[in-house]
Chains A and B, each alone.
Chain A
């Protein structure tokens, strides 16, 4: 506190680089940021209506701010973020493609944004039609028979998929206790398996970076409920033996789960349904351009072959036929369904965006996505060859995984390369994943990146390699140009401070 008793917030801002305190530090008693209507019914105080024991006085943790304070606060905070609209965001298996503005516009139409999930179906025919159409599009794109849009994210889609597999086996009386998961799999795969009570058995990837039928056959047994496979896999490689592998699994009564995170590479080119996949999830926030939102919301619809249709979550959207009349209804009567996963139908706002995207592209546009995504990743690989180590130097699909191995001896690691890329204006690629590549840099440019954009990015990586050899300290101390650099993450974990608290008065 300063002498006159008013709290002063240090102004460390400079030019257009704003330091912005927390809301609670900006707060001033008496400020208000909203204009509530006048009350048109008799005033009642809470004490007149409810016993005191059921009431609270206040929520002192909430700040008091004017609308100007609030807008300035969040506008300034926004300038401290990397974003797709600012530049390339080459995170592997995240598909950080451009988020079309038309999608944002249609999702905000009151006829979608201001609907209640429990309003009568007769009053929601437009959104039910859209959902039904989207299901059809996803089925066509994937080659699966039936789609459920409900899961709120890819991980929840995986959960649904494994639950359906479990329900299938239970109904048949098969006593399966294990799930096969490749060692390149995303962490949500084993987590989803464990949430269903399955023991995870890891399947080793071959030296060529893909799964081989012999490796799967070696661990396959009637005790295995399913194999989970990501195709293309997290090394960016197409699992060439997928059809044979599916046969091996099916032959012993197992099912195949397809993690659809990398579907962008296959649009209009190949379909998981033709690979022997029995159930898969889609990531609308990856392949289908819905925005990542700073960590969500996403949407993770599932697709199944008819063999698993009885187990789909409820409710289902059904098109009325014949004597039933026209339009759509919601069905709940599925005795073998795994039940509900979401309080309502899922992230409908994302369905609207994905629908607009698929309609904007059409079949040629979707195939072009895959072609350009694959072209871009192979171009990056080709230009990095000879400088960065390529553990799997072969044709890739939509992403490539160089590593920091060639930097051995310089003291510079993948982490340092990632941080130095920030100085060049790039959000780093995924690092240290997949786990089978030490020092991995997982790069997925997506089809949104232009040739000159790719060249600039690759030039930055090549420059960082040169820096690592000639001025390694520059790389290891990066980032130098951001408002904050190299956080003490150990301290954050050792002494967790997870909320603001006012300083105790002296």
Chain B
């Protein structure tokens, strides 16, 4: 067994030192009737070569970015990942390391987290960011819980536009405590002004919305804060932060969401990378880990986990959250990605995504049978109304080798037959042209 070094000689020697005659004797504290009498009913051990072949065959059954053109976003985004990201993420000094509790032996990990916190604060336009959360959905839930702690209120407003899975996770998290979720139909500031009241802890608005709409957050912030509620902005497409007005600058109190777009593989939904940033005055209520700068005994700069009195291993049942792990390695991938693209590259990439979307939308407008039912501007994702049914349109797209988008029937039936289309830098002009034809159902 190549992962376990012990030889029979080793075992004999060790049993001698311990003073027991056999391995079985080591389990003497396990009551006889709780000990298994037979081996587990599992497949026998596979050799490396045969196992690799078998697993590769399973992988081969799955459509993926290398086999199809991809126009499906809806919370998980198909982006190119430069080779340098995995080169660093494959370093075992990073991926086989533990949580950096022992700072002297973890400065690599700690400095990376400090760099991530800095960049997320800048991208969100807020003052402090944490060391990541499991994913965007749980980040949204943690943000709502945080707002409730900060305001000592128990009502959470979740207007339409939040990713349905995020809304589901929020409901699950809030069910266990005395909290109320109210779901207004609209995230427009006027509508929200009517719904926000002195019991409202926060208003949770996604930007761009689930259907891709971009709105002016300043009026939404004013509507929330007029009653002492916090504005929580949720971002599922992190790349949008490179181009859209920073939510923090627009008045958001907490900005959270999903950073998978920054160099983290889609991987059928996980592991991904939740982020959360907030105003400094809410610092003590932030969930998750925080890395801070300090000096050592000789005055040299370094980094440590800090403000741990918020966390489970210190405060136990009075912790701000029960979270223990963050998404360390995914955070590393994102930090490397952001370092590679940088100030200019990330902006250019966002502009490319916007240009692709504008091209696709122009083609939609020029194609009989297709239309754009959502009036607001968008970034790289938008709804397309199709003739007959989204299922038929997507079926045609698939025949041509494209995963054409998300069937919106279960999510926004009020739009009629429609598909949520995402165009990133991966979508070639030709692939977009083919998609438009497939969605419309006839040559245009």
Contact = CB atoms under 8 A, between A and B. Distances in A.
Contact of A479 (B86, B104, B119, B331): B104
Interface string B102-131: 111111110111110111011101011101
A36 B249 contact: no
B332 interface: yes
A229 interface: no
A24 B118 contact: yes
B432 A195 contact: no
A497 B82 CA distance: 31
A363 B91 contact: no
Interface string B264-292: 01111111100000000001000001111
B399 interface: no
Contact of B329 (A32, A296, A366): A296
B269 A344 contact: yes
Interface centre among A23, A137, A488, A500 (most CB of B within 10 A): A23
18 contacts: A65-B342, A81-B94, A86-B93, A110-B66, A115-B64, A187-B312, A190-B317, A197-B177, A291-B96, A291-B329, A292-B98, A294-B98, A296-B271, A355-B55, A362-B42, A379-B18, A479-B104, A498-B293
B223 interface: no
Interface in B372-402: 377
Interface residues of B, number: 200
Contacts of B82: 33-35, 67
Contact of B34 (A98, A243, A360, A500): A243
B336 interface: yes
A119 B63 contact: yes
Contacts of B354: 44, 46, 49-50
A450 B177 CA distance: 48
A174 to B, nearest CB: 16
B283 A116 contact: no
Contact of A269 (B30, B117, B346): B30
B327 A297 contact: yes
Contacts of B175: 163, 338-339
B340 A116 contact: no
A140 B358 CA distance: 53
Nearest to A52: B245
B349 interface: yes
Nearest 6 Cβ contacts at the A-B interface? A61-B122, A344-B269, A111-B59, A362-B45, A117-B269, A293-B329
Contacts of B300: 483-484
Interface in B63-107: 63-67, 70, 72, 74-76, 78, 82, 84, 86-88, 90-100, 102-107
Interface in B317-347: 317-319, 321-332, 335-336, 338-347
B48 interface: yes
Interface in A10-38: 20, 22-24, 27, 31-37
B10 interface: yes
Interface string A275-292: 100000000010001011
Interface string A340-379: 1111111111101001101111111111110110111011
Interface stretch (A101-109, A212-220, A467-475): A101-109
B21 interface: no
A342 B313 CA distance: 23
A196 B283 CA distance: 24
Contacts of B258: 343
Contact of A339 (B103, B171, B329, B406): B171
B270 A342 contact: yes
B117 A44 contact: no
Given A115-B62, A395-B28, A486-B296, A59 B355 contact: no
Contacts of A350: 270-271
B344 A71 contact: no
Contacts of B61: 111, 125-126, 129
Contact of B18 (A237, A242, A382): A382
Given A98-B3, A362-B42, A74 B269 contact: no
Given A112-B59, A422-B102, A422-B104, A61 B117 contact: no
A344 B304 contact: no
Nearest to A337: B172
Contacts of A482: 104-105
Contacts of B59: 106, 109-112, 126-127
B296 A484 contact: yes
A108 B178 CA distance: 42
Contacts of A375: 6, 11, 14-15, 18, 23, 26
Contacts of A86: 93
Interface stretch (B132-140, B150-158, B197-205): B132-140
A171 interface: no
B270 A383 contact: no
Given A126-B62, A359-B51, A359-B55, 14 more contacts: A22-B111, A49-B377, A59-B343, A60-B122, A115-B267, A127-B268, A194-B322, A285-B325, A295-B98, A342-B134, A345-B270, A374-B27, A482-B104, A498-B291
Contacts, number: 681
Interface stretch (A1-9, A151-159, A248-256, A405-413): A151-159
A62 interface: yes
B210 to A, nearest CB: 12
Interface in B1-55: 1, 3-6, 10-11, 13-15, 17-20, 23, 26-31, 33-36, 39-46, 48, 51-52, 54-55
Contacts of A60: 122, 343
A93 B237 CA distance: 36
A49 B60 CA distance: 40
A492 B304 contact: yes
Contacts of A191: 312, 315-317, 319, 321-322
A382 B19 contact: yes
Given A197-B176, A395-B26, A54 B216 contact: yes
A260 interface: no
A60 B121 CA distance: 11
A496 B23 CA distance: 51
Interface in A62-121: 62-65, 67, 69-71, 73-75, 77-86, 89, 91, 94, 96-100, 102, 104-119
B65 A56 contact: no
A240 interface: yes
Interface string A175-206: 00000000000111011111111001000000
A41 interface: yes
Nearest to B41: A140
A41 B355 contact: yes
Interface centre among B313, B322, B343 (most CB of A within 10 A): B322
A453 B15 CA distance: 16
A146 interface: no
